[in-house]
Structures are given as C-alpha cells and as structure tokens.
Amino acid sequence: MFPAWTNMGCLRYTQRHAKILRPDQHRYIRRFQAAHHWLEPHPDDDEETRWLFQGLPASCGKFRLGDSETIDAHEIFSHIVSWKKRISLRNMYEVYPRKGETWAVFKNWDIGWYRNPESHKAYEFELVEILTDYCCGVGVHVGFLGKIEGFSSIFSRKNSQGMDWGVVLVKERLRFSHRVPSFQMTSNEGLHGIKSFFELDPASL
C-alpha cells in the first residue's frame, strides 16, 4: 500500500496495488504500468462525513476499496504505508500511525474546518514522532519535533507550550496530514549537543 502525490502536490490517497506491468514481461507494453485500486476514506460519524464531503484530506482511519485504474507515472508513488485489513468487513482497511514513525499534523486543526473549507486550504504543519501505537480507545501519544539549526531536514524533540509530548485523541485523528519517511540517528558526540535525531524525507516536508 502506497500514498501517491495528487495533482495538487499533496500526499493524500492511499493505494492498494493489484499488478505491476513491465515491458520486459509483456510484449505489448512499452513502459511501466501499475494496475491498482484507490482507497476511499470511510467516515465514522457525521462530522467526519461533512469533512470528507468538502474535499478535506484524510490520511488515517478506515478506508474502503474504491475504483481501479492503470497508471504509467511511477514517480507519483511516495513510500510504503503500514496497514491492517478489517477481517469483519470486506474490502475495508485501516491506516493509523505506528510507534517510531514520524508524521505531519495540521497546525491549529479543528474538525469545524468543513464549515468554511476554502479558508483552510493553505495548510501549516507541525512534525511529530509517534511514541505509541494507535489505541482505538485513547488515540496516540506524540513527541513534538523541531528543526536543528543549520540543517534543512534534520529534526529533534522540542518543547511545545512547555511540553515535549502530547496526545492526539481518537476524535482528532483527521489532524494527521501524512506520514513523513525518516531515519532515526544517534551520535555519541551529539549534534549541537543532541544525541538522538531524525533525518526526514525532504520531499514530504
């Protein structure tokens, strides 16, 4: 399962691949092609339904199997996404942040954005480290990240309003914008005195 870049330059839609068609395997194919299904967000309540109806993004939660399509633009794919299939529901998948991942969350997010969606299309983000796996009764604990001075894509834990961690509740899960691929690094000598930090994918920032 992969998220893909939309024509608006955002990572939004998660995909489930059915088949990769390669020129060296099919005599009538002259370039890379991928047959896949789009995954469509499946809301849990009326407010999530209104949010999605206004075209606002959803990158975690429940998704159902959508339309199939064949594309030949491999560069739109970003990275592999962790997911779980709902055994009790056919063609239903769950995507939630997992411990150790890094994600972007909407700054000053509010579910009420759907009431005036045009005022909330210029998104601002905060970056967080996922400290716990998602729990359906609680949500997920996150640690706030800040850029290390002198580097464009290296981040470490920081304080936000006096704390370096917080909780994204279940009802706030649409606050998650997209996963940011990263590598966690450590240094015995430290970087600016910091011994643990993340190098984030610049294309996802």
Percent of the chain scored above 90 by pLDDT?
40
Q: Which residue has the higher pLDDT, 202 or 24?
A: 202
Q: Give the type of residue at 191.
A: L
What single-letter DSSP state applies at residue 189? E
Q: What is the mean pLDDT of the chain?
A: 82
Residue 102 phi, psi (nearest 5): -120, 135
Enter the pTM of the model.
0.84
Mean pLDDT is highest, among 12-21, 140-149, 156-165, for 140-149
Question: How many folded domains does the chain comprise?
Answer: 1
Q: 23 falls in which pLDDT band (50, 70, 90)?
A: low
User: pLDDT tens for residues 88-107?
Assistant: 677 888 999 999 999 999 99
Strands (E), the chain: 2-5, 11-21, 33-42, 61-71, 84-85, 92-95, 102-106, 125-130, 139-147, 154-157, 165-169, 176-179, 182-191, 194-200
Give CA separation, 9 vs 76, 140, 141, 204, in Å.
9, 27, 28, 10
Among the listed ranges 28-42, 47-61, 116-130, 154-168, which one has the minimum average pLDDT value?
Answer: 28-42
Q: In the prediction, which pLDDT does 8 show?
A: 47
What is the band of 175 on the pLDDT scale with cuts at 50, 70, 90? Answer: very high
pLDDT for residue 154: 93
Q: Summarize the confidence of residues 176-190 as an average pLDDT.
A: 84
Q: What is the pLDDT of residue 20?
A: 56
Write down the pLDDT at residue 204: 84
Structural domain that includes position 59? 2-204
Q: Which residue has the tokens 């399509």?
A: 69
Taking residue 156's Cβ as centre, other Cβ atoms within 10 Å add up to 21
Which of the residue ranges 72-76, 95-99, 116-120 has the most confident prediction, judged by mean pLDDT?
Answer: 95-99
Structure tokens at 80: 């592999």
Convert the pLDDT of each residue in 49-61 to its tens digit.
Answer: 999 999 888 988 9
What are the helix (H) ranges across the chain?
Answer: 46-53
